[in-house]
Amino acid sequence: MEKFHEPVLVEEVIYWMNLKDEGIYCDCTVGGGGHLFMMLQRTKNARFIGIDWDPEAISFTQKRLSNFRNRVILCEGNYADLDVIMKELNIKSVNGLLFDLGASLYQLTTPQRGFSFNHSGRLLMQMAPQVIPLYKRLRNADKRTLYNVLKNYGNVPNAERLSRLIFEHRYNLHTTMDLRQIVEENFKGRLLKKNLHRVFQAFRIWTNEEFKNIEQGLKKAITLMEPEGRLVVISYHSGEDRIVKNLFKEFEKKDLLKRLNKKVIKPNIDEVRRNPSARSARMRVGERCVSL
């Protein structure tokens, strides 16, 4: 493995999390521990909970952060179950939460995980073992569902025809290359790479029920925050960002959260040059209101 993940907007995360030494914080998407490592380095006594539902991320980060063992608890779990995870840890509230949404570089580029249109592998796309793999989902899906996935999660042109083809071939889609081949029949030249990306991302979101989890996770996060605690969310997809934006607005209307940036925070040119996968990152930050 070359690199597990390259964290984005690191300095911005540190700044907006407003870390205090006596605080306790939750990194809900710990991945390769890039953000968490930096947050540990920049604090002396603050304590952290790191959650990820991918056991490979947890075991990698466990080793990486072994020097900080006394300040970190790592938990394998779905952030949609944040309330249950906190209860099990006997933690009632935290001073800040970070959600760095989407998938890690490791997940996206490891052929055996089946996310990549560049590597041959079984068509799995499971971020966690309990997720039903994509090839099985495809077999049980109807044409309308496939159309909606491609249209709503991928904004794929020609979604009608593509969903029909995928539906017709659904029992023969075993590998990433089988899916790639269908996309190749529909798009040529410059459009091919763009649409391979869109189709694979759309199926990844669907397989892992990402939008549902984000909504549940954020709704639980707001109930677990100390007054003036920070909620920092980084998204990489317009659909993800829309959920975050709308929930932040809803929390603000209920006087639960104050939005600290009305305009999204994006990586600067240098960061995008260094790490092209950062280009779609959008960060939103809110502060928990002090209840009366």
Ligand X SMILES: C[S@@+](CC[C@H](N)C(=O)[O-])C[C@H]1O[C@@H](n2cnc3c(N)ncnc32)[C@H](O)[C@@H]1O
CB of residue 56 vs ligand X: minimum separation in angstroms?
Answer: 9
Among 155, 213, 277, 280, binds ligand X (CB under 6 A): 213
| Residue whose CB is less far from ligand X, 81 or 166 | 81
DSSP 65: T
Q: Is 282 in the site for ligand X (CB under 6 A)?
A: no
Task: For residue 158, count other CB atoms closer than 10 A to its CB.
Answer: 13
| Residue whose CB is less far from ligand X, 166 or 265 | 265
Q: Are 128 and 53 in contact (CB under 8 A)?
A: yes
Surface-to-core class of residue 292, CB atoms within 10 Å of its CB (0-12 exposed, 13-18 middle, 19+ buried): exposed
Q: Which residues of 163-187 are buried (b: 16+ CB within 10 A; e: fewer)?
A: bebbbeebeebebbebbbebbeebb
Cα 19 to Cα 151: distance, rounded to the nearest angstrom: 40
Give Cα separations from 203 to 43, 133, 169 (angstroms): 39, 10, 15
Cα 175 to Cα 216: distance, rounded to the nearest angstrom: 31
Q: Is 114 in the site for ligand X (CB under 6 A)?
A: no
Span near ligand X by CB under 6 A; candidates 24-32, 117-125, 129-137, 166-174: 24-32
Among 23, 34, 96, 154, binds ligand X (CB under 6 A): 34
Q: Is 103 in the site for ligand X (CB under 6 A)?
A: yes
| Residue whose CB is less far from ligand X, 51 or 94 | 51
Pairing of strands 282-288, 225-235: antiparallel
Residues 44-73: x where in contact with ligand X by CB under 6 A, - otherwise, as a string: -------xxxx--x----------------
CB of residue 36 vs ligand X: minimum separation in angstroms?
Answer: 7
Among 5, 113, 198, 204, binds ligand X (CB under 6 A): 5
Q: Is 229 in the site for ligand X (CB under 6 A)?
A: no
Apex 41 CA angle, 37 and 45, nearest 5: 110
CB of residue 170 vs ligand X: minimum separation in angstroms?
Answer: 25
Cα 53 to Cα 131: distance, rounded to the nearest angstrom: 10
CB of residue 57 vs ligand X: minimum separation in angstroms?
Answer: 4
Q: Which residues bind ligand X (CB under 6 A)?
A: 5, 7, 29, 31-35, 51-54, 57, 78-80, 100, 102-104, 127, 213
